[in-house]
Every structure is written in structure tokens, then in C-alpha cells.
Amino acid sequence: MRYKIALLEGDGIGPAVIDEGIKVLNAIEHKFGYRFEYEKALIGGCAYDDCGKPLPESTISIAKDADAVYLGAVGDWKYDSLPAEVRPEKALLGIRKALNLFANLRPAIVFDELLEASTLKPEVIKDVDIMIVRELTGDVYFGQPKGIEVINGERAGFNNMIYYEKEVERIAHVAFQTAMKRNKKLCSVDKANVLDASRLWREVVTGVSERYPEVELTHMYVDNAAMQLIRNPKQFDVIVTGNIFGDILSDEASMLPGSLGMLPSASLSNNEKGLYEPIHGSAPDLKGKNIVNPIATILSAAMMMRYSFGKNDAASSIENAVKSVLKKGYRTPDIHFGNTQVVGTTQMGDLIAQEILISN
């Protein structure tokens, strides 16, 4: 089997973590006999430097032609003064829209080996395994009208939080189907006590639940959900929420396993094509230092194997290799504690790739 992967390395530490992901995919090729064909394309600040656009049409074309997209990270402080329409982060919104990637899956899993890496008590986070399903192409990030205008003699900034019924329906189906494959528990997070958009969200999700009678559906306001993620995270199995709430809650959930460097993500459309990336940013201050954690990017490759290619054996091989390397005591600086052995970005990638090749 041959699969075509678009490589969008991006900025900052993006190329470094993608390099480690490729090492792992090379090991998967060797072990399972799959073949991956890569085509690189520019996105973010590096694309702006090359052609004045953070998301060139050529990149969109390459991504559409691929079976999956593998993304590093975008952004750098040197671009902060650019107009909003050409900021590197604009490319993320653009690629999601261009590929109709409306469903973002962000797992937050606490490995036993990393219980001490979290700032929370081990008894609070042990056995936590949460899947956050975030709607990705609606909400305030895409709503119109938006802008900064002079109103009544002073500047005002505004963004429109808007959801259409069909947008909520399709992400709700993804969430319920995800829950059906797990523990059949789904918590829908909104702000229906204040926001009209959230009231529609809750009504539609409740309606869709009639199609999934086996799933236990609960609702929670976003401020309470933020508190409960820290107070009692084990109460959650699958969470479904809108774009901006999902962005914030999934970053909060990254602190359960102890680091942003541990959380992968998959952004999916109605077909098998998906975009896979770590949830962390480009960290330009860490570029070239060989200290960043590549595990989130490596686990994103596992999600690629599972969701775009249907290769659960390869996905499990990657995940088990990560667990094995952590069990042996190897850590990047962000998850180091006690007597564990600190390794760099490249060595962590080498260790995980080697573990894939030697495991049964």
C-alpha cells in the first residue's frame, strides 16, 4: 500500500518535530511494508517570506492531492506586526477551510509513566483518557462581520459568533460516533445560559442524540467545564464543543499529562482525508536547541494511521513504542522529573523509531 502525505513543516520548531515524525513513519514502513510518498509545501511565516502569502495556492493544491496532511507549527514573533490577513496563523484557518476540516479530535491521555510530570495530584489524573471533539470551521474565528472600526468616535473590535444548524449537526454526529467507540458518554460544552449561538448548539446536539440512544448525553457550561477538567477530569470521556471553547479547553487539558508536547490532534472532513499536527505552537525561542518534545507530533502520525489510512496495527505500534520508551525512563526536558534520563528531540525520535522495529 502506498500513501501520499503532504508535509507542511511550517515555522519555528515545526521542521524539527516533523523530522522525528518521519523517522517513526520510516520505521512503520520497514515493519509493515507500507509505503509513504512525501511532498513538501510551505505554510505560515516561511510561505510569507517566499511569496508574500501564508497559504499559497500551491500548498492548497498539494494538500488536496495528498491522502493526508502532516503539519508542524506556524508563527514567529517577527511576524506579529504584519496585517492580520497575512499573519502566519491565518494559514491554519485557511487550510482547514480549504480542506473542509470541520472536526478536530484532540485526545488527552495520561500515561502512568508521567503521573509525576503533571502539576496535579496523581490520584486526580491517573487513568485519564479524554477525547475532545472540537468544531473547527465555524464560530468567532470564521464568523462575519468582523473587524476594527470607529464607532461613536472610538475604535471597536468585533467578531461574530455564528453557528448554522447543519454545522452543529455534523460535528455532533462525529462526537456521538466517537462516543459509541469508547465508553458511550458524551458531554456537550456550551454557554447556553448567555449566548444565543450556544442555545442553538444545545438544541441541535440534543436532537441528534435521539439517533444514538446508547450514548449518555450531558450538557455543561464552559466555565464549569474548565473547572471540572482540573477538579475531576476522570468524569469525562468524550467532550464536544465549539471552535473557540474547544481551542481553550484542549490547551487546558494538555496540562493533565503534563505538557503541550504530549498532545496530538487530527482534523477531519467527511472523507478520509485529514490533517495531523501537535496542538503546541511554533516556539521560535526553542528553534535549533534540540530540546523540544516530538511525542505530540509522533502520536499525530499514529492518528494518521488510524483515521486516514485505517491501519490500527501501525497506530498501535507507534503508541506502544511511545509508552515503552517512557517506561524505560527517557524524557525530554518538559516532562523530566526525578531520576529520569533527559534526552533531546532527535534522540527521543530515534528511541521511539527503534522501539517500533524491535517490538513484536
Residues designated as active site: 141, 191, 223, 247, 251
CA distance 31 to 298: 16
Cell of 185: 458518554
Whole-Å CA distances, 20 to 34, 101, 124, 163: 18, 25, 32, 38
CA distance 264 to 181: 19
Orientation of helix 345-358 relative to helix 312-327, angle to 10°: 120
User: Beta 129-135 vs 238-241: how paired, if at all?
Assistant: parallel
Q: Which are the contacts of 99, defined by CB distance < 8 A and separation ≥ 6?
A: 63, 64, 69, 267, 269, 273, 275
DSSP-assigned letter for residue 139 = G
What are the φ/ψ torsions at residue 53 (nearest 5 degrees)? Answer: -130, 140
